[in-house]
Amino acid sequence: MPMNEEKIRKSLQTQIIGTKIHLFDHLSSTNKWAMTRLVEGAENGELVLAERQSEGKGRLGHTWYSPPGGGLYLSIILHPNLDSAQIYRLTLVAGAACSEALSKLSGEEIHLKWPNDLYAKDRKLGGILCEARIQGDKLTGAVIGIGVNIHLDRKKLPSELESLAISLADLADREWNREEVAAAILNDLEKWYNRLKSGQWSEIVAFCDEKNILKGRQVEVISAGETFNGEVKGLSKEGHLILRLDSGEERHFFEGDTTLSCS
Ligand code: BTN
């Protein structure tokens, strides 16, 4: 059944997020739509959702698989008071919110695979893609894009996702209502975003560090075109990934692509 705006509003307890809700049957990408809207002068908190995306965007130029009804595809437009270099903070805020909301709903622990993946049972449940509009060194607007697998039709799943992806329906066998999942995530997102605004950055990092599936594990990090191997020590107070390289040297990464090494 297609999503219904009233059903989202019924469960939404937010002051900022969802001031306006834009619901589409089809978009190329909710993030792309939201970025255009931002340039046109969107209000703080506008929310866009689509039943399906034809060019859903993942990090690093990847495509986000977005079949109709199979997942939640949404983007939130915000006007945060951050420097342009602090956009990654929104990824951690969204990760904390999704982890908390989806754990409560599914009864399973939802981990974060730094910087932007949502993991359950060692498989990918969802992802976050933050984009920003920058003028000078100020971030004048941001878009937080969130994709969550709700129900995956394994027969139609692209082969590269077969052993990687998991859905909420795989975690808990119940009727999954996408409006309820969206509202739960957005309620927690506003709570964590308010923590960011009120200076509680260290609490956000501590939560993400505790949920970080990479902690203590051997990983490969590709950052700025270079590849590094080592053991993840955790997150620094800035929210950067701390890697103890095989050479013994410690490196901090503020961005990068991480892959668990086979043990
Ligand atoms: C990733 O894991 O690489 C991030 C995936 C983010 C996907 C979501 S789906 C809703 C929003 N719109 C997009 O085009 N991408 C994000």
Q: Does residue 115 line the site of ligand 1, with CB under 6 A?
A: no
Kindly report the number of other CB atoms within 10 A of residue 234's CB atom.
17
Name the residue among 23, 49, 62 with its Cα closest to residue 148. 49
Q: Inform me whether the pLDDT recorded for 98 exceeds 90.
A: yes
Residue 203: pLDDT band with limits 50, 70, 90: very high
Looking at residue 263, its pLDDT comes to 52
Q: Whose CA is nearest to atom 10 of ligand 1?
A: 73
Q: How far is the CA of 248 from the centre of ligand 1 (A)?
A: 35
Looking at residue 260, its pLDDT comes to 86
- Ligand 1 atom, smallest distance to 28 CA: 14
Instruction: Compute CA distances 41 → 75, 79, 130, 143, whole Å.
Output: 16, 11, 18, 13
What is the Cα–Cα distance from 13 to 186, expressed in whole angstroms? 9
Q: What are phi and psi of 46, to 5 degrees?
A: -60, 145
Q: How far is the CA of 31 from the centre of ligand 1 (A)?
A: 7
What is the Cα–Cα distance from 201 to 89, expressed in whole angstroms? 8
**Beta strands per DSSP E along 28-122:** 47-53, 71-78, 111-113, 117-120
Tell me whether strands 47-53 and 21-27 are parallel, antiparallel or unpaired.
parallel
Looking at residue 136, its pLDDT comes to 85
Q: Whose CA is nearest to atom 11 of ligand 1?
A: 145
Q: What is the pLDDT of residues 174-200, one digit of tens each?
A: 999 999 999 999 999 999 999 999 999
Q: What is the pLDDT of residues 237-258, one digit of tens each?
A: 999 999 999 899 999 999 999 9
Q: Could you tell me if 237 and 202 are in contact, meaning their C-beta atoms sit under 8 angstroms apart? A: yes
- Ligand 1 atom, smallest distance to 74 CA: 10
Average pLDDT for 6-29? 97
Q: What is the pLDDT of residues 113-145, one digit of tens each?
A: 999 999 999 999 999 999 999 988 889 999 999
Q: Inform me whether the pLDDT recorded for 159 exceeds 80.
A: yes
Average pLDDT for 80-107? 95
Q: Inform me whether the pLDDT recorded for 9 exceeds 90.
A: yes
Mean pLDDT of the chain: 95
- One-letter amino acid for residue 60 of the chain: L
Q: How far is the CA of 250 from the centre of ligand 1 (A)?
A: 31
Average pLDDT for 71-95? 95
Sorted by sequence, the CB contacts under 8 Å of residue 56 that are 6+ apart come out as 29, 30, 63, 64, 65, 66, 73, 147
Looking at residue 262, its pLDDT comes to 65
